[in-house]
Amino acid sequence: MPRYPISFSTLGCPKWPWRKVLDEAARLGYAGIELRGLEGEIDLTKRAEFGATAIAASVKDLRALDLVVTDLGASTRLHEPDPRALATQMDEARRFIDLAHRLGAPWVRVFPDRFVPNESREVTIARIGGNLAELGWFARGSGVGVLVESHGEFTDSASLEAMMKAAGQVPGVGLVWDTHHTVSVGKERPTDTWARLGRWVHHTHIKDSTPGEKEVTYVLTGEGTIGVRDVVMALAAGGYKGYYGFEWEKQWHPDIAEPEIAFPHYAETMTRWLAEAGVAPRP
């Protein structure tokens, strides 16, 4: 069966052990996996599968099933104004970059997160951009890049564009476009977001939802109001070459559908839409 460039985040299967993650990804036709914790442990550097004595076997497991790790999802927050808090955050990002290098994963995801109270937006954005650049320089030569996500209070193209410009021309830094956030919170059309940010986008997070009184309810792909098909068409038309990553947040929202339902549904739906958009299966 041809595999299109689709992946899922392990946020969606927080009870699955490593081998089940791999076996299900291959069985369902996924080409990649985004590692965001395993069996409830979010700090991947603490998992035995990725320790010094086991990581070679884990890489072998991936290759045997023709799977790739698209990226590692760190929890690093780049907005932190307190030097001690920021040092802890940056240390985590560096540990994840080192792990990504050993796994052969091309990217580590980090967060911009928040605007700082009583501080101008410009100062916060400049700090985030500078910290992103610092991580990019740290990763240089490792085969790993660092991507900041449209997340938290940074879900509009103007802020994200300013952040990327603040990072400068550092090689290997870019964006994870959480397409849900820019539509549901940023109130942007996917084509407009891509037009402004597409040059920096190397990975995507895709999910669907319906609005509620206080927060959205996540639903199966294509059954909500986000317009995920429009997102896919905007990416394909824009020449996007990365993975279409399913971020099913079962870890944070235990009441949503089980991965045994959501993962095959996403694979089937995205395969149909990607074929329609003229996106080729992965070689």
Percentage of the chain beyond pLDDT 90 is 97
Q: Does residue 265 surpass a pLDDT of 80?
A: yes
Q: Does residue 1 surpass a pLDDT of 80?
A: no
**Residue 104 φ then ψ, to 5°:** 75, 20
Instruction: Provide the pLDDT for residue 66.
Output: 96
The three-state secondary structure class of 143 is coil
Write down all domains in the chain, each with its CATH number in brackets.
6-277 (3.20.20.150)
Q: What is the per-residue pLDDT across 157-206, written as a single tens digit (0 to 9) for each?
A: 999 999 999 999 999 999 999 999 999 999 999 999 999 999 999 999 99
Q: Does residue 213 surpass a pLDDT of 90?
A: no
Q: What is the per-residue pLDDT across 41-65, written as a single tens digit (0 to 9) for each?
A: 999 999 999 999 999 999 999 999 9
Q: Does residue 13 surpass a pLDDT of 80?
A: yes
Tokens (6 digits) for 30: 């996924």
Instruction: Provide the pLDDT for residue 212.
Output: 86
Q: How far apart are CA 139 and CA 144, in angstroms?
A: 6
Instruction: Provide the pLDDT for residue 110.
Output: 98
Q: Find out whether 190 and 228 touch, Cβ atoms under 8 Å.
A: no
Q: Name the one residue in this structure whose structure tokens are 């603490």.
A: 46
**Model pTM greater than 0.85?**
yes
Residue 69's H or E segment, with its range, is strand 68-77
Instruction: Provide the pLDDT for residue 283.
Output: 79
Strand partners, 109: 73, 147
Q: How far apart are CA 95 and CA 146, in angstroms?
A: 12
Q: What is the per-residue pLDDT across 73-94, written as a single tens digit (0 to 9) for each?
A: 999 999 999 999 999 999 999 9
Nearest to 165 by CA among 182, 152, 148: 148
Instruction: Provide the pLDDT for residue 36.
Output: 98
Q: What is the per-residue pLDDT across 266-279, written as a single tens digit (0 to 9) for each?
A: 999 999 999 999 99
The more confident residue out of 10 and 2 is 10
